[in-house]
Amino acid sequence: MEILHTLLRLLHVTSFAAWFGSVLASLYFLKSIEEKLTGNESNIGEYTSLLQRYIKLETKIADTGFKMVIVTGILLAALYHGWTIWVFVKIALIVAQVALTLGYITRSIRTLSYPCTLTDYKRWYRLFAISLAMFAVVLSVSFFLL
């Protein structure tokens, strides 16, 4: 039974890392194409298409990581750790992270069209600030309060 606990924890941490890593990779990708999407390039359509394809792929990775975090977290709580107040705090933080992120995407990111101004493009960076701040809060609670 100890091996199952170790495997679940490994999957849980690895899934969280994949979710976090996909968000971080997106930040670097968007920074690298910023000049192309905010300028007056003649091939702006190529970069817009590239961004759309990238977001679809990144979403698959992030969604898979997120779902695995949820499944392994529920299994860990149900089988090993119990349903303590800290488990519910972590659940609430993850729900808040998803709600804030999806809310901001719906309100501010989906309305972008390219080329756009640098000010408008910075909405992407605000999205990553929200998401990375919430990752930091979840990790802080997990490592320092649990």
Q: What is the pLDDT of residues 36-52, one digit of tens each?
A: 999 887 788 899 999 99
Distance CA 87, CA 74 (A): 9
- Across the range 84-113, mean pLDDT stands at 94
Local confidence band at 54 (pLDDT 50, 70, 90 cut-offs): very high
Q: What is the pLDDT of residue 146?
A: 62
pTM for this structure? Answer: 0.88
Q: What is the pLDDT of residues 64-91, one digit of tens each?
A: 999 999 999 999 999 999 999 989 999 9
Tell me how far CA of residue 57 lies from CA of 16, 22, 36, 81, in angstroms.
Answer: 17, 10, 20, 34
Mean pLDDT, the chain, integer: 93
